[in-house]
Amino acid sequence: MKDKKILSLVIRWLILIVVLIAIYLPIALIILYSFSEVRDLGGEYGSFSFGLYAKLFQNKELMTATMNTLIIGLVSAFLATILGSVTAIGIHYMTKMRKVVDTASQITVVNAEIVTAMGFYLLFIFLRDVVHLSFDLGLGWLIIAHTVITTPYVILSVSPRLKQLNPNLLEASMDLGATPIRSLVTVMLPQLFGSMISGFALAFTLSLDDFVVTSINGGKTYTISTFVYNHIRRSGVLPEVRSLSTIIFLFVLIAMIVVNIVKNKNLKKEK
Amino acid sequence: MAYVEEKIIDLVDVCKSYGDTPAVKNLTLYIRKGEFVTLLGPSGCGKTTLLRMIAGFESPTSGRIFIEGEEITSKPPYRRPVNTVFQKYALFPHLTVFNNIAFGLKLKKIEAGEKNGKTIYRKLTKQEIAEKVNRALKMVDLEDYGYRNVNSLSGGQQQRIAIARALVCEPKVLLLDEPLGALDLKMRKEMQIELKRMHQELGITFIYVTHDQEEALTMSDTVVVINDGQIQQIGTPKKIYDEPSNAFVANFIGESNILSGTMIKDYLVRFLGVNVPCLDKGFNKNEQVDLVIRPEDIAISENGEGQFKGRVTSSVFKGTYYEMNVLSGDYEFTVQNTSEFDVGKEVVLKIIPDSIHIMRKMRTINSFEGEIEDENTVYFCGESFEFANRGEFFEKGDEVIVKIPFDAIEITDDENDGDIGATVTQSLYKGSYYQVQIFTDGGEDFFVDTPYEWGLGDRVGVRIDPQKITVEKVDYSESEGDSANEKG
Amino acid sequence: MKKAKVFRPTAFAFPYIAVTVVFVIVPLLLVTLYAFRGNDGSFTIENFNYIFSQAAYRNSLFKTVGIALLATVLCLLVSYPVAYVLASHPFNKMAVLALLFVIPTWMNFVLRIVALKSVFNWMGLKPSFWTGIIGLVYDFLPYMLLPIYTVLSNLDKSYVEASKDLGSNDFLTFWKVTFPLSIPGIISGISMVFMPIFSAYAVTGLLADAGTTVIGRGIEQLFSQPSGYGAGSALSFVLLLLVFIVMFLSSFITGKTNKTLTGGKKR
């Protein structure tokens, strides 16, 4: 009986470890080889060096793409967080309209991304050629597109928190003399702060991760995804991508650790 | 305390419906300055909707609301001189107790003299706010709690803070939406006394919503009983208890025996086959009435004098008295007495005139017993009527209940013009129409809603819309309860 | 007195409704419009005829369905055991463990695919059909894992205990109790993997051979010049229909399992 239990435990550990290795092996190798200047993985490792990191910061195109990624990610996540939270509050008080708005907000979530991307592109064509607005594909258009795509995820992360709130908070605030906008800012948003932060993080990583919409609506503006993809398709491996991957991975790891520490602290406080 | 006879709130013909569901129907009500008014009714009766319309969270579908003569029907809540205490407190969890109470004060602007003929306003200073908050905290006995986190307080303490937060804004009217509903019994009793004290000290108007009749009776100056979106009765707690205006109020307030009877003449009512003297007059001869008798007002004895003989069917000790059911004929009386009578014992019940309260019959639909003639014809009131059969199976001779809404009946000047003839016996103006009671030649009472005024004693013809007649088979298992005790 | 309507908090959703109409509904209408519009502006189904008569697009569409099915099934086969283990004792007490499977998704997926590509190069694997499939599984695994794990870890233990109490062994308990109860998670996982693969041409483009690509690539190429807008929109419209079908199927199956689960109690 006891043997059987131990065996089952060992098998289960094995399953987890094998899959984890498969997931992390490429990442680990990339990190390892980010400190070597060799062109391809598996080649002569050579000496430990920060050469690829120096190269990364000297690669103007890659640096621009990184900056674009950050600008688009931060600005669109910020806009999506504001829009999504305010919308979630509106939806929360809806009765009949709720289902319609909820469904509408899910369209971009369930739709094939390529269709969404093409929709944006056709809208651009329409605005330029039919409405005669003079603007071009690029950073601004990408910020709008990313905001639209990520807002539903903010709504999804804020809504559950709203359900936990006292149903009369907004009314109480207005009852005491605060206008709707003031009530929103001084009473509702502070309650939602935590879920807005996770909504922001989600929106940011989704924006960071996006390829299809960005590639089709970016014009000459490249983000990390589109630049790296195009460069590798055209001219093959770009060694300094390894150092960029390492930096991003470490950043994500540290962020996760910090979030978990804060979460645990809050949990303890509640207890 | 003395009332200043001055209206503070005036609701005129207020209606509210959600989609097709009416919540409040043509409600007209005024509230005097300084009163403690309770809106009492079962859940879903429209009392909270009414309160929320006064607060400004809902706007009426039609009708107008005034505060001190000024119309506020479409004013947003933040511009109304009323404040609300919510059932679940709704304290702001991110603010301290102090800042919760100061919330409204920080937004408030007060007059600060005049400049070029215009009144200028200013905000309260920090010190003024602090003073007011501390005074409010003192009033609710939580002086040292200013810097506490609201989540660390007990339910009762949170409720006190919610009350302080509303009162500190010096509203003209304080609205309380079942404020004690979430507290345990002991706490509730304490807070009842506390609220009553605050009301007396502050002298402002309280409008209190509750479904707890005991709470309403002990705290209020005036009770407004609401059911089905309509006011059933307005009066002092004593009046409401002693003289309920209809069967619903009698049933909802306290325990009661409700029976149907007939007014033989002034001061004499017949029920359960016995003529009993009473103190009521002014009804029509042989008018059908409801009567209410409180269980504590029935004298019970083993072989003393009394009008009704019966047998004890159950007995429960309620702390200071026994509550017994006594079956007399096919009606089961509820009787309260300090001494117990064993189950099965034959007893005599005595009802004195003072303990009988007669009410006009509350009818919402005309309902008659009838008999099926064929699948589209039913016989009642001494005449055959066509009706629209909704696919039900009836056989000739089936006993049925025929129901006819008030507005399905048309009355005409010519008594020969209708299906049956009748005489107008009563006419009541109901705002937008008349509700007329007619007595048919077949010997039945009809209620009719009509746009025209009719004189008493007018001879009329009656026509009934066949589409609106509902015919139901008599279900004997239910009809037995017809005259039985309607305890809620 | 100024007539002001009583404020409704639902108004807070209005800006977003406007945004959705302009940036979500209108674009979809434009896709539909272009799909059914001929060069002269009249209504036509010519664009659909074109994409279904051209072997390149027709085959690509069917191939994409095949690739998506295969990758989805592989994702399920790998992630179900993992989710099951993670939700079982004593692993359910180690919250960090589940997190480890998700962390990579927070990093840019192109960079992860590039990392995988470097490893394939090292191992001497030439771009092929299967490297593409492995890439897709690698990329989408967490999206399949997470919903299944969530359902399994929230499963009431008493079901399993009741089953064992009634005499079934571990395998029967899994097959008759745990697995059926986890179907909503599987459905949700499938819907998070199957359709997105249609657009994942970056993965196949980096890892697979030239012949292995998904339909998203075809659409992208059609849109690269104005003459292709019609056919590209038609292809997009077909995908849109497919999305509806998948949505309908998944809500149908989820609804059915939920009904079976609550069937006995329904009044």
Q: What is the pLDDT of residues C136-163, one digit of tens each?
A: 999 999 999 999 999 998 887 777 778 7
Measured CB to CB, residues of chain B less than 8 Å from chain A are 19, 55-57, 76-78, 82-84, 86-94, 103-104, 107-108, 165-166, 169
Contacts of B116 (CB under 8 A, 6+ apart): none
CB-based contact B74 C5, cutoff 8 Å: yes
Which residue ranges make up each domain of chain A? 57-244
Pick the CATH number of B366-474 from 2.40.50.140, 1.10.287.10, 3.20.20.70, 2.40.170.20: 2.40.50.140
Question: Which chain C residue has its CA at the smallest distance from B58's CA?
Answer: C6
Mean pLDDT of successive 10-residue stretches along chain B, which has 488 residues:
68 88 88 93 89 91 91 89 90 91 89 82 90 91 88 89 91 92 85 91 92 90 90 91 84 82 87 88 79 89 87 89 88 88 90 87 73 83 79 78 82 80 72 71 78 81 83 56 34
pTM beyond 0.80: no
Q: Higher model confidence: residue C197 or residue B22?
A: C197
Q: CA Rg, chain C, in Å?
A: 23
pLDDT in tens, C203-218: 999 999 888 889 999 8
Q: Rounded to whole angstroms, how far apart are CA atoms A36 and A53?
A: 10
Mutation site for C-interface testing, chosen from A211, A215, A240 by largest number of C Cβ within 10 Å: A211
For residue B1, the SS3 value is coil
Helix (H) or strand (E) holding B175: strand B173-177
Fold of B247-360: OB fold (Dihydrolipoamide Acetyltransferase, E2P) (2.40.50)
**Single-letter amino acid code for the residue at B461:** G
Which CATH architecture group holds B7-242?
Answer: 3-Layer(aba) Sandwich (3.40)
Residues 6 or more apart whose CB falls under 8 angstroms from that of C119 comprise A25, A26, A29, A41
| Neighbour tally for C102: CB within 10 Å | 14
Rounded to 5 degrees, φ, ψ at B445 are -95, 135
- What CATH number was assigned to the domain covering residues C55-262? 1.10.3720.10
Q: How far apart are CA B447 and CA A45, in angstroms?
A: 102
Residue C258 — pLDDT band, cuts 50, 70, 90? low
Residues A267, B171: Cα–Cα separation, whole Å: 40
* C97, A239 contact by CB (below 8 A): no
In chain C, what residues touch B58 (CB-CB under 8 Å)? 6
B473: closest CA of chain C, how far (Å): 26
Quick one: pLDDT at residue B361?
Answer: 73
Give partners of C (≥3 CB pairs < 8 A): A, B
pLDDT at B364: 61
Q: Could you state, in order of their start, the residue ranges of all structural domains in chain C?
A: 55-262
In this structure, which amino acid lies at residue B323? Answer: E
pLDDT of residue B175: 94
The half-sphere exposure of A237 on its side-chain side, counting CA atoms within 13 A, is 18
Same fold for the domain at B7-242 and the one at B366-474?
A: no
Extents of the domains making up chain B? 7-242, 247-360, 366-474
What CATH number was assigned to the domain covering residues A57-244?
Answer: 1.10.3720.10
- List the single residue in B55, B78, B89 with the smallest CB-CB distance to A179: B78
Report the relative pairing of strands B36-40 and B205-210 from DSSP bridges. Answer: parallel
Q: Count CA atoms within 13 Å of residue A223 on its CB side.
A: 28
Instruction: Tell me which residue has tokens 């190069």.
Output: C121
Q: What is the mean pLDDT of residues C39-61?
A: 86
Mean local confidence (pLDDT), A110-124? 93
DSSP bridge partners of B271: B274
- Count CB atoms within 10 A of the CB of residue B459: 14
**What is the tens place of the pLDDT at every residue in C58-92?**
888 999 999 999 999 999 999 999 999 998 888 88
Interface test with B, best of C3, C5, C6, C8 (most B CBs within 10 A): C6
Q: What gap in Å lies between CA C12 and CA C23, rounded to an integer? A: 18
A216 and C220: CB-CB below 8 Å?
yes
The answer to whether the CB of B103 falls within 8 A of the CB of A173 is yes
Please judge whether A12 and C9 are an interchain contact, meaning their C-beta atoms are less than 8 angstroms apart.
no
Q: What angle do CA B79, B81, B84 make, to 5 degrees?
A: 100
**In the beta sheet, which residues pair with residue B402?**
B368, B471
Q: What is each CA distance from B265 to B262, B291, B437, C226, in whole angstroms?
A: 9, 15, 19, 96
Answer yes or no: are the C-beta atoms of B29 and B63 closer than 8 Å.
no
Q: Say if strands B173-177 and B205-210 run parallel, antiparallel, or are unpaired.
A: parallel
DSSP class per residue in C212-263: ---HHHHHHHHTTSGGGHHHHHHHHHHHHHHHHHHHHHHHHHHHHHHHHHHG
- Give the side-chain half-sphere CA count within 13 A for C76: 19
Question: Cβ(C194)–Cβ(C72) under 8 Å?
Answer: yes
Is the ipTM, as predicted for this complex, more than 0.95?
A: no
At residue A133, does pLDDT exceed 50?
Answer: yes
Q: What's the confidence (pLDDT) of residue B402?
A: 84
How far apart are alpha carbons C68 and C75 in whole angstroms? 10
What is the structure's pLDDT at A103? 87
Q: Note the residue count of chain B.
A: 488
Q: Taking CB atoms and an 8 Å limit, are A172 and B107 in contact across chains?
A: no
DSSP H stretches of helix in A96-239: 97-110, 113-129, 139-164, 169-175, 180-183, 189-209, 212-217, 224-235
What's the sign of the alpha-carbon dihedral B295, B301, B302, B307?
negative
**Residue B376 DSSP SS3:** coil
Q: How confident is the model at residue C4 (pLDDT cuts 50, 70, 90)?
A: very low
